[in-house]
Structure formats: structure tokens, C-alpha cells
Amino acid sequence: MRMTKGPTARDRVAISALRGLNWVSRAAKRGEGTVIGGRAGLVISPNLLATLAKGRSVVLVSGTNGKTTTTALVATGWGGDVLTNATGSNMPAGHVAALAAAHSEHVALEVDESWLPEVIAKVQPRVVVLLNLSRDQLDRASEVRQLAERWRNALIDIRDCVVVANTNDPLVVYAALEATNVRWCDVPTPWQSDARSCPRCTLALEHVNETWFCSCGFAKPTPLTTSLREGLEIDGETIAMKLQLPGAFNEANAAMALTALREVGVDLSEAVQRMNEVSAVAGRFTFRTWEDRTLRLLLAKNPAGFEALFSALAPDNSDVWIAINARIADGRDPSWLYDVGFETLRGHLVWCLGERRLDLATRLEYAGVDFRVVDDLALLPRLDQPVELIANYTAFSEWLSRSVPC
């Protein structure tokens, strides 16, 4: 038995400082204040995250894409009083701020990929959900491999914890393979461009039908706990999922969220009913009104995110609006647009928006996709039906504030 210590005097000072700063920040309308207060708390007491997490049942969710949605599905599916970092502050400062705000026993935290090893070490989670690993914004494929290695090292020694891992992402498999307790999830994963070569030996991976393998023996693991093929099955239990959230990628997120909830003793038939009610997450997937038009706002920040959304577009050749910025939060270099398979959009007419609309238009030209460059929003067409608007990070925020809920 490990001795559990309560908060030290230093921890209590840190928590008070954190709450005070958050209150001041909110009063001054400087946002939720979560990061400011959390940073201050961690400066005063570097071990604050461990102290605040102690004794709670924590599920961590990480991956390049889908972590905000999956964390929201875990929290909603769990039911009852669940603490989560809903503002998307997914680094330790955000985690301590969320944990200091309430005493809930059940906690679902979204974790930035690069912070996951440290957060695992501090909070000693019950479950860690590993969704996927792909390049984000810029070509950082080598960094993605380093991340997989760091995840692997963090998971090797972890005890009393279950890892819920996606079998169709070889980098995730590489990271999870040495963990003691793994629940493998066979869920649709359209993007595998960052795992063409074996994470173990660097030879080319072979993808055949629904499996993959390397000549060195590294291969898609079995047995599977969760399968999302003809329907959803978790450990032999068939689950009827009817999500309001669009796309196969959200079904994959929900399947992994349910697999995690099973490990903390949640009844899955009740959990899936709660998940089915979710129609939007942090403004994403919502229908909004702008200048008498109805838009469905979709966020995508990197090639894998774009391709997941393309696969969810209606097959009716409807117009698509795409808004691209390249500010600091988006990544200054928009060359990642060349890694997105825009060829899929042939047959659609794409309206190019955002500060980097010309970069987008150039990419669409090469892809053989019809497009219009929109220099003045007043020139956007009237619409008979809702249009899908896909935007990257800061462009998404602009359209969220520009539009209102339907």
C-alpha cells in the first residue's frame, strides 16, 4: 500500500492563489482564467497536479485529433458529476485549474500529446485513451515518432491503469504494446500517412484489407476488445449507437470513449444513450446562422482532421466553404495544405475563405477541384440548404463569433 498524503501547507497556498487568480481573471473578463491560475498554482507547488488528482478516478484522453470530442463523450457518457477541462486547456496548468474547481470523484481530462507522459506520472489515471498520432500543422513526422517513443516509455511502468488504444494507428500500437493492461480497439482510421514505415524497424508496413504488418513481426494486435465494423461490439456486447455527431471518425471516438467507461464500471447501454444526445462539442458540429445562411461549423487543424471531415461530407456535390488562416495558433506555415487529399473534393465547388485563401486556392488548382476565391464575404452565395464550413483553428473562432446559434 502506498501512503496517501493530504495537501501540504504549500499545496493549500497554491490552491488559494489559483482560485483567487481565476476569480480576478474572470472578473476582469480576461477569459476563464484557467491557465493563469493554474500556472501560478504550479509555480508555488510543482506537485499540485498529483495532490489534486489523488483519490479520484481519472480518465485521460490524448491523440492528435478527436481528443476534445472524445473527452466530452467520456464525461457525458459517464453520467452524474464528472469534472472535465471543458475549455480545452489541455496542459498541466489547465488540469490543475479544473481539478481545483470542484471535488468530483470522476474526472475526464483531455491531454496535449506532448504533455501526456508527465500527466500520466502525476495523476496516476485509471484509464488512458490513445486515439491517434499524426503530424499537426507542419510536417513533423519525425516528431510524431519521438512522441510515440515517449508515450511508450511512460506506459511501460504504469500500474493499476488500463490503456485503451487504436489498433489501426501503428504509432499508437507501438506506444501501447508494452503496457500491462491494454484494450485494443479496431476503429475506422482513415489517415495512416504518418505510419507508412514500421515504428520498430523502419521497413515499410504492409496494409492488406483491414490489417497491417511488418516483416519484423510488428503487426496489428489481437485479441480485440472493441470492434467497429458492421456495428459496435465491446467485449462481446453489441451496442446500438445512434450519434448525432457526424462522421465515422466520431463513431470511432465514441467507441473508444465507451471502452474506457467500461473500465470504470459504467453501464454501456446507459452511457451510449447519453452520448447519443450530444450534438455539439465546444461549438464544433453546430448549425449556426450567419447573414440569413445556415452553416455547419467544422474544425480541422491538420491533414488527418481534414480527411476525416471529407469522409463525412454528403455525397451530393454540394458546395463546401473552407476557411484557412496561418496565425501562430494555426502554425505560420500553411504548406501542410499539400498533405491534405483535396482531390476527394472533385465534383464539389469550394469557396476559399480566410487569410490564406490564395494558398488554399492554389492547392485546389493542383487537385483539380473547382473553387472560388472570396475576397469579400458579401459576395458569398445565398443558400437553399445548410452549407458545411470547414475551418482551421483561428478561422473557426472567427466564424464562431461571426455567427449565432440557429
- Classify strands 387-391 and 206-208 as parallel, antiparallel or unpaired: unpaired
- For residue 296, CA distances in Å to 289, 309, 389 come to 9, 12, 6
Q: How many CB atoms lie within 10 A of CB 286?
A: 17
Closer CB to Zn ion, residue 141 or residue 349? Answer: 141
Task: Give the number of residues in contact with Zn ion, rule: CB under 5 A.
Answer: 7
Closer CB to Zn ion, residue 173 or residue 299? Answer: 173
In the complex, what is the shortest distance from the CB of residue 213 to Zn ion, in angstroms, rounded to a whole number? 9
In the complex, what is the shortest distance from the CB of residue 204 to Zn ion, in angstroms, rounded to a whole number? 9
Closer CB to Zn ion, residue 146 or residue 279? Answer: 146
Those residues with Cβ within 8 angstroms of residue 363's Cβ, 6 or more apart along the chain or in another chain:
337, 338, 340, 342
In the complex, what is the shortest distance from the CB of residue 300 to Zn ion, in angstroms, rounded to a whole number? 31
Q: Does 177 bind Zn ion (CB under 5 A)?
A: no
Those residues with Cβ within 8 angstroms of residue 38's Cβ, 6 or more apart along the chain or in another chain:
18, 89, 92, 93, 94, 95, 96, 97, 100
The vertex-287 CA angle with 281 and 290, nearest 5°, equals 125
119 phi and psi, to 5 degrees? -65, -40
Closer CB to Zn ion, residue 216 or residue 240? Answer: 216
Closer CB to Zn ion, residue 73 or residue 198? Answer: 198
In the complex, what is the shortest distance from the CB of residue 78 to Zn ion, in angstroms, rounded to a whole number? 38
Question: What is the rounded CA–CA span in Å between residue 289 and residue 406?
Answer: 5
In the complex, what is the shortest distance from the CB of residue 214 to Zn ion, in angstroms, rounded to a whole number? 3
Binding mask 199-218 for Zn ion (x = CB under 5 A): -xx-x----------x-x-x
N residues, the chain:
406
Q: Does 195 bind Zn ion (CB under 5 A)?
A: no
Closer CB to Zn ion, residue 127 or residue 214? Answer: 214
Question: What is the rounded CA–CA span in Å between residue 382 and residue 391?
Answer: 19
Decide: 389 and 323 in contact? Cβ < 8 Å: yes
Closer CB to Zn ion, residue 179 or residue 198? Answer: 198
Closer CB to Zn ion, residue 4 or residue 142? Answer: 142
In the complex, what is the shortest distance from the CB of residue 141 to Zn ion, in angstroms, rounded to a whole number? 17
Sign for the pseudo-dihedral over CA of 299, 286, 260, 115: positive
Q: Given the C-alpha cell 474544425, which residue does it identify? A: 299
Question: What is the rounded CA–CA span in Å between residue 190 and residue 4?
Answer: 44
Enter the DSSP assignment of 348: B
Question: What is the rounded CA–CA span in Å between residue 373 and residue 371?
Answer: 7
In the complex, what is the shortest distance from the CB of residue 171 to Zn ion, in angstroms, rounded to a whole number? 13
Pick from 369, 377, 312, 313: nearest CA to 337: 369
Q: Does 198 bind Zn ion (CB under 5 A)?
A: yes
Interacting span for Zn ion (CB under 5 A) from 31-39, 54-62, 198-206, 323-331: 198-206
Closer CB to Zn ion, residue 174 or residue 191? Answer: 174
* Burial zone of 366 (CB within 10 Å; 0-12 exposed, 13-18 middle, 19+ buried): exposed
Q: Which helix (H) or strand (E) is 133 found in, with range?
A: none
In the complex, what is the shortest distance from the CB of residue 212 to Zn ion, in angstroms, rounded to a whole number? 11
In the complex, what is the shortest distance from the CB of residue 146 to Zn ion, in angstroms, rounded to a whole number? 18
Residues that bind Zn ion (CB under 5 A): 198, 200-201, 203, 214, 216, 218
